[in-house]
């Protein structure tokens, strides 16, 4: 995976770089088995650093003793009209080049949308599949807010874009308004010069409608999410699991987006170790 990261022989601990096919990645963990994570929606397709990397890798730190975790994003400079299937093809190429065999895959949020295409179109690269806080399509409210975020980003209104996303994600409460105000200002400080990758990804996910193809997935699959997820509904999670042959479903009644916590970690580890 280039000079910075490799699937074997790399120093233990977190690192970042690019795959040979040009996809940004962050790597962590010391386990003997590779696990590929398809990231959720990002404002810029690049390797994460600093606080962003710490936060993202923290979601998967519980896997680090059993797996070496490769958190991989979409390629920079996405062409106009690039679809979920095109992004899945990029991931399939990377997995074949870097590992030469099927690997366990976790697709989180937007990454889960792409992971469904990956598992159906490229079954040779997916050993086991976790669809994490994602489904065969976005809910209507999730589509509306993402299109709003994309429109704001296209005008370089980065603080407003972050605020729209955070208001939708953070539960309403006494502290939600000041948290959204502060976080959106801080996040906008690192905004990219070009919003194209974000806008193209949002447009691709707006077109994502995979329910009729779920039956094509042959990899053992776990669908896991929170019943209070604002982007998806428990109904969408259930439809996704019911459409994939022999898929397992876990929905946590009090969780939002993305699902997490001790029970989530136990479920995922047990599934991947089965």
- Regarding whether 146 and 132 lie in a shared domain, the answer is no
Q: What would the mean pLDDT of 21-48 be, rounded to a whole number?
A: 94
Residue 132 and residue 167 in one domain = no
Same structural domain, 132 and 103: yes
C-alpha span between 169 and 85 (Å, rounded)? 27
Higher pLDDT, 121 or 2: 121
104 in the same domain as 235: yes
35-44, 126-135, 180-189: segment of lowest average pLDDT: 180-189
- Secondary structure of 159-182 as H, E, C letters: HHHHHHHHHHHCCCCCCHHHHHHH
Which tens digits make up the pLDDT trace of 134-146? 999 999 999 999 9
Weakest-pLDDT range from 34-38, 164-168, 185-189, 267-271: 185-189
Res. 8: pLDDT tops 60: no
Confidence of residue 13 (pLDDT cuts 50, 70, 90): low
- Whether residue 264 sits in one domain with residue 228: yes
**Domain presence at residue 203:** no
Write down the pLDDT at residue 36: 98
Judgement on whether residues 66 and 149 belong to the same structural domain of the protein = no
Q: What is the pLDDT of residue 132?
A: 98
Q: Domain residues for 146? A: 141-198
Instruction: Please check whether residues 127 and 60 belong to one and the same domain.
Output: yes
Do 218 and 131 belong together in one domain?
yes
Do 100 and 227 belong together in one domain? yes
Task: Verify that 225 and 250 share a domain, yes or no.
Answer: yes
Average pLDDT for the chain: 92
* Count of structural domains, the chain: 2
- Whether residue 259 has pLDDT greater than 60: yes
Mean per-residue pLDDT, 72-81: 96
Residue 179 domain-assigned (yes or no): yes
Q: Which of 136, 109, 128 is closest to 36 using CA atoms? A: 128
Helix %, strand %, coil % for the chain, to 5?
A: 45, 15, 40
pLDDT tens column, 201-222? 999 999 999 999 999 999 999 9
pLDDT at 10 (0 to 100): 39
- The pair phi, psi for residue 234, each rounded to 5°, is -60, -35
């Amino acid at each position: 995976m280039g000079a910075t990261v490799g699937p074997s022989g790399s120093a233990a601990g977190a690192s970042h770089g690019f795959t040979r096919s040009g996809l940004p990645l962050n790597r962590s963990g010391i386990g003997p088995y590779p696990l590929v994570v398809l990231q959720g929606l990002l404002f810029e397709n690049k390797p994460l650093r600093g606080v962003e990397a710490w936060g993202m890798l923290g979601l998967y730190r519980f896997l680090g003793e059993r797996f070496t975790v490769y958190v991989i994003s979409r390629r920079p400079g996405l062409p106009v009209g690039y679809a979920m299937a095109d992004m899945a093809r990029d991931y399939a190429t990377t997995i074949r080049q870097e590992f030469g065999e099927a690997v366990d895959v976790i697709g989180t949020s937007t990454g889960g949308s792409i992971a469904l295409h990956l598992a159906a179109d490229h079954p040779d690269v997916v050993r086991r599949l976790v669809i994490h806080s994602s489904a065969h399509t976005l809910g209507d409210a999730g589509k509306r807010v993402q299109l709003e975020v994309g429109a704001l980003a296209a005008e370089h209104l980065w603080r407003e874009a972050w605020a729209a996303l955070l208001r939708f994600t953070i539960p309403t409460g006494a502290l939600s308004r000041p948290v959204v105000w502060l976080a959106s200002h801080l996040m906008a400080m690192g905004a990219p010069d070009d919003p194209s990758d974000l806008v193209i990804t949002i447009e691709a996910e707006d077109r994502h409608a995979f329910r009729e193809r779920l039956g094509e997935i042959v990899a053992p699959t776990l669908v896991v999410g929170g019943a209070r997820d604002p982007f998806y509904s428990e109904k969408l999670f259930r439809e996704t699991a019911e459409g994939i042959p022999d898929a397992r479903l876990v929905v946590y009644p009090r969780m939002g987006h993305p699902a997490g916590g001790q029970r989530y970690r136990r479920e995922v580890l047990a599934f991947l170790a089965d």
